[in-house]
Amino acid sequence: MEIESEEENNTDNSNNEYELATKLKDIGFLRMPEKCICGNTRLNIQKLNSNKPSGIVYRCTNYKYKHTYNIRKNSFFEPFKRLKLNIVLETVKCMLCKQMNIEKTKIYLENTIKEKISKPSIRKIFKYVRETIKKYYEIEYVSEIFGEKNANDVFAIDESLFTHTINNQPVWVIGAINNRTKNFRLETVFNRDSEILKKFVNKYIDKGNTIVSDGWAGYSFLNNNPAYNHIVHIHGGGDFGFGITSTSYIEGLWSNIKSKIKMIYHIIPSFNFISFLRESEFRIKNNKKNYEVLLIEFFKCFDCTKNLENTIISDAHIFLHDSDFNANSSNDEDDSSSD
């Protein structure tokens, strides 16, 4: 009886994997080749081996040749050939939708889909998701207009020091938020001096707009600057402004990001800080979307990075990248925060 039960289990898992592969193909998360090498343009999804993650393939309908193709090719699932599609998808869902860390994800998956998955496998998926999001925002920051010229928009700008890092290497982040649309930009920087702040403003906020800041001396270049209307609120005196010209939105953004990082990871490595920052950015920008829509948004990010993977992204002389931090010798970036 146990043998029969195990066989039935394998059959059910195989059918579920096949159905999931079909669904992922239909919504574009898996890509079918345009045509077979024999020239035939008709391919189908077929099961070759029910017990292996690679047991589902695209097969040419020309049975004279019977060519098969990897269904994961050029998709997000390609690096995880030893893991079933449902395990990878559920892990991404745990990370982005349920906001779980590695330990909680492992427990959740083993209790829900009843399959063992190792922490290194979860860690690999987490890291790949994070790097995908990071690359996407680097592309978006170049291609998408943030502050249109003479749009009369109000942008609150501020800097914040992030100290919840493993190597006691705090990181400065500059942020600007459009107080009308709530769209925002974030960059990690070496320091918050006037030169760096000026380059940040020139990169992201076009002339003719209003900039709201606190009384930090680094914003002195905006004083009497005809290109911008500059409003200063002295936070030390309890002045945060009101309505559209308030700095409350940017202050709230810092609080939101820091609370999410602390809630999920508790502490993060400074040498991978940018990746975690972009992950938090993705969560905040998609926080009102349900699971399905959020996953679709993530896979759109992946498609964008695949299509533009050779794009030259940021100004390396202005802003920090992961390589600018000391990585020491540890590659287990989530160990202290999630286990």
Q: Exposed (0-12), middle (13-18) or buried (19+): which is 90, by Cβ within 10 Å?
A: buried
Residues 255 and 175 in one domain: yes
Tokens encoding 140: 């978006």
Pair 164, 44 in one domain: no
Q: What is the pLDDT of residue 47?
A: 83
State the pLDDT at residue 95: 94
Domain final residue pick, 75, 94, 121: 75
**Which segments within the chain are labelled E, that is strand?**
43-47, 56-60, 68-70, 154-162, 171-178, 184-189, 210-213, 229-232
Q: Which of 30, 47, 75 is the last residue of a domain?
A: 75
Residue with tokens 């760096």: 196
The whole-number pLDDT of residue 80 equals: 94
What is the model's pLDDT at position 320?
55
Q: Is residue 87 one of the residues assigned to a domain?
A: no
Q: DSSP string spanning 27-83?
A: TTSS---SS-TTS---EEEEES-TTSTT-EEEEES-TTT--EEETTTTSTTGGGTTS
The count of domains in the chain is: 2
Do 151 and 263 lie in a common domain?
yes
pLDDT one digit per residue (tens) for the chain, 339 residues: 333 344 445 555 667 888 999 999 888 899 888 888 888 888 888 887 656 676 888 888 887 877 889 999 989 999 998 899 999 999 999 999 999 999 999 999 999 888 889 999 999 999 999 999 999 998 888 765 676 655 789 999 999 999 888 877 889 999 999 999 899 999 999 899 999 999 999 988 988 899 999 999 999 999 989 999 999 998 777 777 888 899 999 999 999 999 988 889 888 887 889 999 999 999 999 988 888 899 999 999 998 888 755 443 344 334 555 555 454 434 444 544 444
Q: What is the pLDDT of residue 265?
A: 87
Each as own residue / partner, the long-range contacts of residues 6-13 (CB below 8 Å, 24 or more positions apart, any chain) are 10/50, 10/51, 11/50, 13/50, 13/84
Task: Establish if 86 belongs to a structural domain.
Answer: no
pLDDT at 314: 40
- Residue 66 lies in domain: 1-75
303 within domain boundaries: yes
Domain match, 173 and 319 both: yes
pTM for this entry = 0.83
In this structure, the answer to whether residues 148 and 67 fall within a common structural domain is no
At 174 the pLDDT is: 96
64/147 same-domain check = no
The per-residue pLDDT for range 24-66, each reduced to its tens digit, is: 988 889 988 888 888 888 888 888 765 667 688 888 888 787 7
Distance CA 158, CA 109 (A): 40
CA end-to-end distance (rounded Å), the chain: 38
Question: CA-to-CA distance for 205 and 175, rounded, in angstroms?
Answer: 11
**Which DSSP string corresponds to 199-214?**
HHHHHHB-TTSEEEE-
pLDDT at 50: 56
Identify whether 43 is part of a domain.
Answer: yes
User: What pLDDT score does 12 carry?
Assistant: 57
Task: Label residue 284 exposed, middle or buried (CB < 10 Å: 0-12, 13-18, 19+).
Answer: middle
* Strand pairing report for 184-189 and 171-178: antiparallel
Residue 61 shares a structural domain with residue 149: no
Please answer whether residues 294 and 193 qualify as being in contact, where contact means their C-beta atoms are separated by less than 8 angstroms: no
Same domain, yes or no: 160 and 50: no
Tell me, yes or no, whether 111 lies in a domain.
no
Is residue 115 a part of any domain in this protein? no
Is 92 a domain residue? no
